[in-house]
Amino acid sequence: MGIIDPAKVPLKTGSIYPAPYGAMMAGRSSLRLGDAGRLTQFGANLIILQPGALSSLRHWHQNEDEFVMVTVGECVLVQDGGETVMRAGDCAAFPAGVADGHHFINRSNAEARFLVVGSRAPSEVATYSDIDMKIEIEGGKARFTYKDGTPWEGPR
């Protein structure tokens, strides 16, 4: 495949989160660079956060490692243990199976960008730390449930 021109990669906006959580992702978009390069063993996404935007709900992965590097601007990493300001060049790693929910918030007045590289496990479960929800992914199909595994029907 070779060179990937980010200007030719479709900008993905919106969220797969069920209501009311999908609306919380306003101001977040991404470029699926790994998909554009036809990668199959890991994903690589450039996340773009407008001022005030969240990267995701706070979560952790059961089977997939995640690596993040801020490329533009400044954002705040929120984890179980607190908050850390990250700037261009700063990196963070989230090993699979470590139950320490994380997400990023852009509290600055300028756009922030970070690269996320993650493994693509054939079966994955991500748990959302602050709400009673998880996502199960099997064979490329995603299903939201409560943490006890019962099907998602909305906030309890």
Tell me the domain boundaries of the chain.
11-122
pLDDT, tens only, 46-89:
999 999 999 999 999 999 999 999 999 999 999 999 999 999 99
Q: Are 32 and 45 in contact (CB under 8 A)?
A: yes
DSSP class per residue in 18-38: PTTTGGGGTTEEEEEHHHHTT
pLDDT, tens only, 114-155:
999 999 999 999 999 999 999 999 988 999 999 999 999 999
Count Cβ atoms below 10 Å from residue 52 Cβ, excluding itself. Answer: 12
How are strands ordered across the β-sheet holding 28-32? 11-13, 28-32, 42-49, 112-119, 66-72, 91-94
pTM for this structure? 0.95
The yes/no answer on whether domain 11-122 falls in CATH 2.60.120.10 is yes
